[in-house]
Structure 1
Amino acid sequence: MSNKLEIPAKWQQLKSYTKARVALGNVGTSLPLNDVLALKHAHALAKDAILTQLDKEFLKIKAKEHGVLCSEFKSQVKDRLEYLKRPDLGRKLVNTSEVENIKKVDIVIVITDGLSATAVNSNAFSVLDAVLPDLKEKFSICIALVELGRVAIGDQVAEFYNADFVAVLIGERPGLSSPESMGIYVTYKPKIGFTDERRNCISNIHKDGLSSIQAATLLKYLIDRSFALKISGVELKIDLGAILGDE
């Protein structure tokens, strides 16, 4: 007789709707070997994601294809270990004096590695390809690549460009089912010292989460509403069903 527990059909159906580890079954008092190995593999991918680096050359090429000025910055963090220990340093720029040809723009798009550079390398321009052509007709735009940055570093970049709006594309904390998940944090009239209630967030952008088209739709909506109402954050009400519809 097999010791493996039969998994009810309803649990099997649930597995088709989620990447969560449900209905794994058991072999005696242990998990099935394949599921144990899959968990170890997912854990390794999540750890590796934290150590990945921005593909700056690729991102600069993509910006050039759109005819958008792209500059490079770095936070005050010295290395990845310090990044994990000192989030405060990841919110501050170190080299603004080295950046040339600075002029005011309406919107600055910050692309930073966060906790998964692979996430932004893979997903940033999947979203931006869908929004930049329309945005360029209405606004002046630049892109800033920031190494070892946190979300709030976008406020300092925006002040540097005297920008009215900032969108920070950043790698999210790697999960055991989504090591390549990207988030977008947007702020209207950003200033150094702003806290999270002044921002709106589009999260969980990856191949098994929010699609790049859905994220682009939300980003365009937030930009349009922020400029129309001159607000962002908790004051800006969002009806996801009405915005995304059946996308």
Structure 2
Amino acid sequence: MSDAPAESPNDPFARLRIATRARIGLGRAGDALPTRALLDFQAAHSRARDAVHGVVDFDAIAEQLDAQGLRSLRIRSQVTDRASYLRRPDLGRRVYVDDLPTLEAAHGDYDLAFVVADGLSAAAVNAHAAALIGETRARLSTLTLAPVVLAQQARVALGDEVGAVLGARIVALLVGERPGLSVADSLGVYLTWAPRVGRSDAERNCISNIHADGLTYAQAADTLAWLITESRRRQLSGVQLKLDAAPTAVIEAATP
């Protein structure tokens, strides 16, 4: 017996779809998917491809940051084009040598440096990065902030070099997450204490799923502010800094 089509009034999966964005109980049309489910899948796939190959509007982000009273700097990784970015993640982890003087000129004694990296979803960075920085900054008003670094064709580990050159005790790198077929504009944040080249992923904390159907800016900022505060107090980050030690309100906020 064939599964009921998604549009059937007797669809047994209807209640489950309310609780998840996963594609479940799509039904069948002969030996294939129903037309509506197939078209939805193709549209989601197109959005994911567009997110990966899209271009971050760093000029617009710089303007949004300027409106918040935040100075920004523009740098590039050692990647020369998007195809190389996807094939050579190692090059996306280091700053382009000609751009190092830009960072060196801004060296100072900073508590925190924000880095905005395009990552694998330009849509996420365009939509969420500046707003999240604003929300987080409001919760950490006593900290000294480095200029926000806008990094083109950058991977997560590029923040280690940026933070070290700037002289920041903590770096928080905002990056577009790998898009899926349910969300193409999810933003992630990676926090590292005492950034330097060679830090491992185990030495970072990550907040993910920041998008319209995931964590709100307020929820993500609450979590990030707690992690930054605890990172400064304990002088560490990563697997030794557990979110489950946070107050209940923060843990609940981190759960979309």
TM-score tier after normalising by the smaller chain length: over 0.9
Alignment CA distance shift 1:13-1:241 (3 Å): farther
For 1:245, the equivalent position in structure 2 comes to 252
For residues 86 and 191 of structure 2, what CA distance do their matches in structure 1 show?
Answer: 23
User: 5 Å matches for 1:1-247?
Assistant: 5=4, 10-94=12-96, 95-99=99-103, 101-104=105-108, 105-239=110-244, 242=248, 243-245=250-252
Gaps of 5+ in 1: none
CA shift at 1:66, angstroms?
2.2
Structure 1: 4+ residue segments shifted above 6 A? none
Across the aligned residues of Structure 1 and Structure 2, the Cα RMSD in angstroms comes to 2.0
Amino acid paired to 2:58:
K
Cα deviation code 1:47-89 (max 9, x no counterpart)? 1111111211111112212222210110000000000000000
Alignment CA distance shift 1:100-1:229 (3 Å): closer
Cα deviation code 1:122-165 (max 9, x no counterpart)? 01122122121332323333200000000000000001101100
For residues 5 and 39 of structure 2, what CA distance do their matches in structure 1 show?
Answer: 20
For residues 223 and 211 of structure 2, what CA distance do their matches in structure 1 show?
Answer: 15
For residues 20 and 6 of structure 1, what CA distance do their matches in structure 2 show?
Answer: 16
Aligned residues: 246
For residues 83 and 47 of structure 2, what CA distance do their matches in structure 1 show?
Answer: 18
| Percentage of pairs with the same residue | 37
Q: SS at 1:53's partner residue?
A: coil
For residues 29 and 156 of structure 2, what CA distance do their matches in structure 1 show?
Answer: 44
Q: SS at 1:136's partner residue?
A: coil
Taking structure 1 as the reference length, what is the TM-score of the superposition? Answer: 0.93
Taking structure 2 as the reference length, what is the TM-score of the superposition? Answer: 0.90
Alignment CA distance shift 1:21-1:194 (3 Å): same
Amino acid paired to 1:191:
R
Cα deviation code 1:31-51 (max 9, x no counterpart)? 110000100111011011111
